[in-house]
Amino acid sequence: MGKKAMAKERCDVTVQCDTCDGSGKCKKEDQDERRLDQRLFQIRHKILVMSGKGGVGKSTVATNMAAAMALREYRVGILDADLHGPNVARMLGLDGKHLTGGGDSVDPIEVSKNLKAVSMALLGHDPDQAIIWRGPLKHSAIKQFLGDVNWGDLDFLFVDLPPGTGDEALSVANLIKNMDGCLVVTTPQDVALMDARKAVTFSRLLNVPVLGIVENMSGMTCPHCGGKIDLFKVGGGEKTAEELGIPFLGRIPVDPRIVEMCDSGKPFVTETTNSEARAAFLALIQKIVDLFEPAEGARPAVH
């Protein structure tokens, strides 16, 4: 056995080795892994928010879930893992804000008392410029968002994934060990449900528990006559959940105020007026809480 082979057999990443060109890289990767594990250890529950296709309101659902959890006094973080089309910062009113920090630590933006956020949109680049990255760069960025960001102690971290089952979803699923599960957002129409099934299959292949399906844009109430209008049909999400043997977590109807408030940077659930859509969001949050929190430790409900 040669000298170089013996050195590799005894490899110790904590020391420099003149026989191994990768010793410095090996040491840094080991440090990065330990830091990632430490950050994630401080987060009790980690939930992916997925959709099979774009345009189903996934980011709207993710931001309102995070905001509703924060209103219930849970410590919440939301990571916008959509690197090419980050929308979470706009929906949370963070336009013009930038991530800060030093060394290997980045501070998330404090949205409110109990809510922190990180997004590519908070790095200060021109919002009109496209992010043109291949898989390795995307993986590196997501790893930094998870490992370098000082999330602190959190009860819940929601990860808003881009549509589909590509690089970002695969990176997050591989980087976050012991994922609590994923929530699949769809609309009731057939083309959305076809792709929602793929998101469920993706999660099962990677051993990520599927918490359930949310049917977004599920009908609306006419503001003039009070009649029901099924814009994208109703019930497809529930039927798909039954066919796939996973929970159905509820329907969120169309409400024009959701669009208005998201565009103005205010989560819809923070408004105090009663509405069918707000009640649906709060019922969704209660189901998530019931999955993870024993009744005796539940936080105050939002009214």
Task: Give the pLDDT score at 225.
Answer: 81
Confidence label for 12 from pLDDT (cuts 50, 70 and 90): very low
Q: How confident is the prediction for the chain on average, in pLDDT?
A: 88
pLDDT score recorded for residue 25? 57
Name the architecture of domain 30-293: 3-Layer(aba) Sandwich (3.40)
Q: What percent of the chain has pLDDT over 90?
A: 72
Give the pLDDT score at 6.
34
pLDDT value for 234: 85
Q: What angle do CA 263, 265, 266 make, to 5 degrees?
A: 110
Confidence of residue 263 (pLDDT cuts 50, 70, 90): very high
pLDDT more than 70, % of the chain: 89
Domain boundaries, the chain: 30-293
Identify the pLDDT of residue 222: 76
Residue 7: the pLDDT is 37
Residue 3 has a pLDDT of 38
Select from 266, 257, 262, 274 the least CA-distant residue to 220. 257
Burial (CB count <10 Å: 0-12, 13-18, 19+), residue 122:
buried
Q: Specify the DSSP element, H or E, that contains 203.
A: helix 190-205
- Would you say the pTM of this structure is higher than 0.75? yes
- Write out the H or E segment, with its range, that includes residue 229: strand 228-229
Q: Residue 273's pLDDT is what?
A: 80
| Contacts of residue 189, Cβ cutoff 8 Å, sequence gap at least 6 | 232, 233, 236
